[in-house]
Structure 1
Amino acid sequence: MNTPQNILRRDAVERMTGLPKSTLYAKVAAGEFPKPIKLGARAVGWLEHDIASWQLARIEARAA
């Protein structure tokens, strides 16, 4: 069985990444950022693990 993960709402993702809402969604559309999961009719969130993995990939790309 999978371990439950934290789901972050958009405002938390913006704070973690430093990216504004428009850039987040543009990167999602371009396949450059993890897709959100639908939580309800008008609510989405991102898995904390996906955001952390994205951040680590940016750090590793910088070192290359």
Structure 2
Amino acid sequence: MALCTPKGKPMPPGWRSTIELSEVAMNSRPSAPTELSIMRLPEVAAVCGKSRAAIYKAIRAGEFPKQVKISARSSGWVRCEIEEWVRSRMASR
């Protein structure tokens, strides 16, 4: 099954392995963050299951991790913060 972005476009090469690695990281509970990297919006949306608009709305409401500036015109999210948010959502059910 091919993975698609929230807008239905095919994912770039190598994308699937990134998502699979994120799923493995979310299922394990390391004592400290093992990977410090930046996720861009399409990956954040794919991992958390929220749309772009829902992500920004949750940030404004203080319910989702804030993005960090990468450059003057781009931003991303810290991977371990997004993974922790997913874990907290899973724990609250």
| TM-score (normalizing by structure 2) | 0.61
Query: Which residue of structure 2 aligns with residue 22 of structure 1?
Result: 53
Spell out, residue by residue over 1:35-62, the C-alpha distance to the aligned partner (whole angstroms, 9 max, x if none): 0001111101001100000001001110
Distance 2:71 2:52 in 1: 19
Structure 2: gaps (5+ residues): 1-33
Letter in 1 for 2:66: K
Kept in 1: contact 2:35–2:80 (CA 8 A):
no
More strand by share: 1
1:7 to 29, 38, 42: 38
Query: Which residue of structure 2 aligns with residue 43 of structure 1?
Result: 74
- Structure number with the bigger relative contact order (C-alpha 8 A, sep ≥ 6) is 1
Q: Percent identity?
A: 35
Distance 2:89 2:76 in 1: 21
Distance 2:35 2:88 in 1: 23
**Between Structure 1 and Structure 2, whose CA radius of gyration is higher?**
2
More helix by share: 1
Show structure 1 runs of 4+ deviating over 4 A: none
